[in-house]
Amino acid sequence: MKLPKIQDADLRGKIVLIRVDHNVVKKGRIKDPYRIDASLDTIQYVISKGGKPILMTHVGRPRNKKTGEIDISDKTSVKPIIEYLKKKTGLIFLTPDEVDFQNHEIDNLLKDLKSNEISGIYLPNVRWFEGEESGGEKTRMFGNELANLADVFVNDAFGSWQPHASTIEPTKYLPSYAGILMQKEIENLSKVLNPQRPLVAVIAGSKFDTKIGTLTSFLKMADYLVLGGVIYNAYLCAKYGFKISGITDEDLKAAQEFLKFSDTFSDKILELPFIIESDVLEEKIAEKFRIRNIIEIKPGTKLNFILDVSTKSFELKKVKDIFHDARTIFVNAVMGFTPNFYEGTFSLNSLIDQNKNANKLFGGGDTLQEFKTLLPGIYNLALKDEKYYFFTGGGTILKAVKEGTAFGLEPVKALMRERIL
Ligand code: 3PG
Ligand code: MG
pLDDT tens digit sequence for 14-27: 999 999 999 999 99
Beta carbon of 392 within 6 Å of any ligand 1 atom: no
**Ligand 1: nearest atom to the Cα of 394:** 3
Residue 372 alpha carbon to ligand 1 centre in Å:
20
Given a contact cutoff of 8 angstroms between Cβ atoms, the answer to whether 36 and 24 are in contact is yes
CATH number of 6-181+407-416: 3.40.50.1260
Q: How far apart are CA 26 and CA 167, in angstroms?
A: 22
φ, ψ for residue 344, nearest 5 deg: -65, -50
- Length of the chain (residues): 421
pLDDT tens digit sequence for 138-161: 999 999 999 999 999 999 999 999
CA of 133, nearest ligand number: 1
Residue 198 alpha carbon to ligand 1 centre in Å:
31
The DSSP code sequence of 45-77 is HHHHTT-EEEEE---S--B-TTT--B--SGGG-
Beta carbon of 395 within 6 Å of any ligand 1 atom: yes
Instruction: Please determine whether the domains at 6-181+407-416 and 197-357 fall in the same fold group of CATH.
Output: yes
Q: What is the residue with the minimal CA distance to atom 2 of ligand 1?
A: 23
CA of 391, nearest ligand number: 1
Q: How far apart are CA 301 and CA 314, in angstroms?
A: 24
Task: Look up the pTM and report it.
Answer: 0.95
pLDDT tens digit sequence for 76-124: 999 999 999 999 999 999 999 999 998 999 999 999 999 999 999 999 9
Beta carbon of 31 within 6 Å of any ligand 1 atom: no
CA of 31, nearest ligand number: 1
pLDDT tens digit sequence for 325-353: 999 999 999 999 999 999 999 999 999 99
Superfamily (CATH) of domain 197-357: Phosphoglycerate kinase, N-terminal domain (3.40.50.1260)
Residue 161 alpha carbon to ligand 1 centre in Å:
8
Q: How far apart are CA 351 and CA 40, in angstroms?
A: 32
Beta carbon of 163 within 6 Å of any ligand 1 atom: no
Give the residue extent of every domain in the chain: 6-181+407-416, 197-357
